[in-house]
Amino acid sequence: MNKVRYLDTSAPSMAGAQPIHFLSCALSRLRFAGSANGRITDGLGKNLRTGLLALIAGLCVGGMEMSAFQQETPVQFSNIAEKAGIHFKHANGATPEKYLPETMGSGGLFFDYNNDGWLDLFLVNGGSFVDKQVAAAARHRLYRNNGDGTFTDVTEASGIGISGFGMGACAADYDNDGWTDLYVTAVGANKLYHHTGKKSFTDVTNVSGVPAGIGSTTYAFRDIDKHGNVALL
């Protein structure tokens, strides 16, 4: 059995008092804990103790310096949607009744729909429960990544339609044909879109066996039984 080695990191204590511990952590097979005599109990040697304490001190100082740097340099983001070609406005169909879906917004996801190695963007739109014109204009949008920091709207050629009040989406290659498929949730009817292999999708909801639903928000694809095929959760 491997011996567990202990290194004291406590401050000197008064007679009869328990040591005050400044650090207790694990490093490989070495454990740091308090002892009454301030020595490594299995005799690993002064050099090892000195080296380990130097390492601990360096990590602590480095951590404090990084913390100070993070505090002095806050993370900043810039809205580059317009510059990147993302022209999308979510329609929530807000009414005085404040129906729950109107207050929730919709989802979106990045996925490589055309297998060119660049992540494309799919944005789910909402609609309206009372205004048919607003509902008809609330198109989901698929943006192809051009590989240069910009995107092109390819919705019209994608085969992705409108179905109810859009809520969310998830993507995976559910039939293992090498192309990523798309599932869109909604208040109204969910849709499963199968990738044709030609940079477009076909609605296979009715023949796939997945429930269309009457009101869904979040779904996910996952291989829950590790048999190589994803399930829809």
pTM, whole model, 2 decimals? 0.67
User: CA-to-CA distance for 44 and 56, rounded, in angstroms?
Assistant: 17
DSSP string, 79-106: --HHHHT----------TT--HHHHH--
Structure-token pair, residue 7:
């290194």
Rounded to 5 degrees, φ, ψ at 104 are: -95, -25
Question: Tens digit of pLDDT per residue, the chain (233 long)?
Answer: 444 333 344 444 444 444 433 333 333 333 434 444 444 444 445 555 666 566 666 665 566 555 555 667 888 999 999 999 999 999 999 999 998 888 988 899 999 999 999 999 999 999 999 999 999 999 999 999 999 999 999 999 999 998 789 999 999 999 999 999 999 999 988 999 999 999 899 999 989 888 666 777 777 888 888 888 887 77
Cβ–Cβ under 8 Å, residues 184 and 165 = no
